[in-house]
């Protein structure tokens, strides 16, 4: 199977702090891959480095077999790779309508047929055309995150980077957004790299995962291994205990 993303011996240093220390991961095309760990483990920094939002000090990042360097990426990269952030309110411009925020990436990339694409994107995330001219403050948290997902999808990328996409939402809408993402992945055959501290979310959404601690990958395993308890590291077991959602899923399995 072809590789969508390959990270080799990646390190990221901020001042004197080593946020990532010799990290390597490989994600196959159309795979859903999870990055888990406690706060400060480096999982979000790894995602941001792949996106070009954090500078790599050492190592290489390849996307679709092509090495990408620095934090400045070309338009072809952003056509292929889009990111959905944790805070749906912070990632949307408060003074722009949904219509304008969906039109902006199309204008940046010189893509026409905006009317059709916007209506299709809204429909795909379960929102109707009536949401086009609303502002972010007129939407619920779940609706805002659906708009953020629509904005990421409108360029028809092959890879989505998901940074805790439901952790800022009420528990009642988290499952709805996760199910939406899973449906989109199946329909479009997308590659997902998802950051989460919740092992229940990761086992539901991802095929494989890397467990991170202190800026390093300490364990790699499949979701099936995790559910079956085939775990080598005590740290991973401690994450299981801390993840109430995982315990509930494991007990009912």
Distance, CA of 42 to CA of 19 (rounded, Å): 6
The candidate with the shortest Cα–Cα distance to 189, out of 216, 158, 218, is 158
Distance, CA of 102 to CA of 99 (rounded, Å): 5
Distance, CA of 167 to CA of 194 (rounded, Å): 12
Q: Is 114 helix (H, G, I), strand (E, B) or coil?
A: helix
Statement: residue 250 has pLDDT above 60 = no
**What pLDDT was estimated at residue 57?**
93
Tokens describing residue 192: 């997902």
Q: Could you state, in order of their start, the residue ranges of all structural domains in the chain? A: 3-252
pLDDT category at 1 given cuts 50, 70, 90 is low
pLDDT category at 245 given cuts 50, 70, 90 is very low
* Residues 246 and 203: beta-carbon distance below 8 Å: yes
pLDDT category at 243 given cuts 50, 70, 90 is confident
Statement: residue 251 has pLDDT above 60 = no
- Average pLDDT, integer, range 214-228: 93
Distance, CA of 60 to CA of 23 (rounded, Å): 10
Condensed to tens digits (0 to 9), the pLDDT of residues 34-74 reads 999 998 999 999 999 999 999 999 999 999 999 998 888 89
Q: Is 34 helix (H, G, I), strand (E, B) or coil?
A: strand
Condensed to tens digits (0 to 9), the pLDDT of residues 194-210 reads 999 888 889 889 999 99
Burial class (CB in 10 A: 0-12, 13-18, 19+), 2: exposed
Statement: residue 135 has pLDDT above 90 = yes
Tokens describing residue 61: 């990042």
Burial class (CB in 10 A: 0-12, 13-18, 19+), 43: buried
Residue, of 123 and 229, whose pLDDT is higher: 123
Distance, CA of 107 to CA of 232 (rounded, Å): 49
| Cross-strand bridge partners of residue 32 | 192
Statement: residue 138 has pLDDT above 90 = yes
Percent of the chain topping pLDDT 70 = 96
pTM, two decimals, is 0.92
**What pLDDT was estimated at residue 246?**
47
Crossing angle of helices 114-124 and 98-108, rounded to 10°: 120
Q: Classify 61 in phi/psi space as left (phi over 0), alpha (psi -120 to 50) or beta.
A: beta
Distance, CA of 166 to CA of 142 (rounded, Å): 8
Condensed to tens digits (0 to 9), the pLDDT of residues 162-193 reads 999 988 788 888 889 999 999 999 999 999 99
Distance, CA of 85 to CA of 184 (rounded, Å): 17
- Give the CATH class of 3-252: alpha beta
């Amino acid at each position: 199977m072809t590789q969508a993303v390959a990270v080799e011996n990646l390190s990221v240093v901020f001042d004197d702090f080593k946020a990532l220390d010799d990290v390597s991961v490989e994600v196959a095309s159309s795979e859903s891959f999870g990055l888990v760990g406690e706060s400060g483990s480096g999982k979000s920094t790894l995602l941001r480095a792949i996106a070009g939002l954090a500078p790599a000090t050492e190592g290489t990042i390849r996307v679709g077999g092509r090495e990408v360097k620095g934090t400045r990426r070309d338009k072809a990269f952003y056509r292929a790779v889009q990111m959905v952030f944790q805070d749906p309110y912070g990632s949307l411009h408060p003074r722009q309508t949904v219509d304008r925020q969906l039109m902006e990436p199309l204008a940046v990339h010189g893509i026409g047929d905006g009317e059709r694409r916007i209506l299709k994107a809204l429909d795909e995330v379960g929102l109707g055309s009536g949401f086009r001219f609303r502002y972010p403050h007129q939407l619920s948290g779940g609706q805002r995150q659906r708009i953020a997902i629509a904005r990421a999808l409108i360029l028809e990328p092959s890879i989505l980077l998901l940074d805790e996409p439901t952790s800022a939402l009420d528990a009642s809408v988290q499952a709805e957004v996760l199910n939406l993402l899973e449906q989109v992945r199946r329909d479009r055959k997308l590659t997902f790299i998802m950051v989460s501290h919740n092992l229940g979310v990761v086992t539901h959404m991802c095929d494989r995962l890397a467990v991170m601690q202190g800026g390093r990958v300490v364990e790699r395993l499949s979701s099936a291994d995790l559910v079956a308890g085939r775990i080598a590291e005590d740290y991973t077991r401690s994450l299981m205990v801390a993840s109430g959602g995982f315990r509930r899923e494991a007990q009912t399995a």
